[in-house]
Amino acid sequence: MCTVVIDVEKAGSARLLAVRDEDPLRAWDSLGPWWPEDHPGVIGIRDRRAGGAWLAANPAERRLAVLLNRADVSDLPAARAVSRGALALESVQGRSPVAPLSMHGFNLLEVGPEGARVLSWDGVELRETRIDPGTHMIAHDDLDDATTPRIEAWLPEFRALGPTADSADWTAEWTALLASSAELPPEDDRAIIRDNRPHGYPTQSLLYCIATVTPEGVEVRDVTLPSPRTFRSDTPLPAPTPVLPHSRTPAETPACRRRPSCVAPPSGGVDTQRGRRPDLAPKGKRGGGQAAGSAGSSTQENRAR
């Protein structure tokens, strides 16, 4: 059950913090240009099993998108379910989803030159929620939903920090507040850094991203947690990674398979400087639950909490 906090300054300008919850046994790749043929110039966090993205950004279009799971209100047979992993990739190329959709429920947060919005699909209806200027928060339900414990607990705290555009270092302020939230037990439903297993899901918080979208460009930073559901406040943020349209693919830059400092990190490698996660199981033998970015068949992982 991922979480996004976003501060919209104006159309085309926003800053956000996104925390990804996923089954630790489901393999994924850190920030990189993983789709050079189908989505040239796009960078993102890739789900290896389905090949899609949890978060994606396109600098040429000044766009960013994040995918979160949402409950279904109707049953969708597993054989008919299409992966949601293409949603963020298509979104940052200006192609938003159109109903009807043969997909499990989702919230797709989009940031672009025209503004920011959330597209919500529950298996029956596709709704649009425009994100007004100011600080907002979303998880597995609606934007700023006060019935979601973590939003009720922490949205007022993020808003109290004031506009990010007025801050000398908003990333430090927001990550410090994230660290404060992590003082809660990860099983607590108010927690942002989470262990969802007591709530009936196999997912745990694995990483977070800090991103800025402005008319001048897109910057993204990704930080892998030292272990699932564990936040360390002394983990330094990496330098901003500007998303460049001409970024080379891992295949074109074999040295990236050996150096953790490369923009495109090695698939499954360990980057101790940036907290990359290690391989967790041999390829083809990884277990795991359903991710936002896969078709999956577990209705348990698609219901609301």
Least confident of 127-141, 171-185, 237-251, 284-298: 284-298
According to the per-residue pLDDT averaged within each range, which of 69-78, 181-190, 231-240, 284-293 is highest?
A: 181-190
- Residue 46 reports pLDDT greater than 70: yes
- 100: cis peptide before it, omega within 30°? yes
What percentage of the chain exceeds 90 in pLDDT? 72
Least confident of 51-60, 138-147, 277-286: 277-286
- Residue 300 reports pLDDT greater than 70: no
pLDDT of residue 234: 80
- Residue 293 reports pLDDT greater than 60: no
12: left (phi over 0), alpha (psi -120 to 50) or beta: left
pTM for the complete prediction? 0.80
1 band by pLDDT with thresholds 50, 70 and 90: confident
- Residue 162 reports pLDDT greater than 70: yes
Dihedral sign of CA atoms 29, 204, 84, 43 in order: negative
| φ and ψ at residue 229, rounded to 5 degrees | 60, 20
pLDDT of residue 247: 37
236 band by pLDDT with thresholds 50, 70 and 90: confident
Residue 30 CA to residue 271 CA, distance in Å, equals 10
What percentage of the chain exceeds 70 in pLDDT? 78
Least confident of 24-28, 61-65, 218-222, 261-265: 261-265
241 band by pLDDT with thresholds 50, 70 and 90: low
| pLDDT, tens digit (0-9, with 9 covering 90-100), for 66-85 | 999 999 888 888 889 999 99
Q: What is the mean pLDDT of residues 225-249?
A: 71
Those residues whose C-beta lies under 8 Å from the C-beta of residue 138, and which sit 6 or more positions away, are: 3, 4, 6, 68, 107, 109, 118, 144, 145, 151
Dihedral sign of CA atoms 236, 232, 136, 52 in order: positive
Residue 300 CA to residue 305 CA, distance in Å, equals 10
Residue 193 CA to residue 204 CA, distance in Å, equals 8
pLDDT of residue 57: 98
Q: Does domain 3-265 have CATH number 3.30.360?
A: no
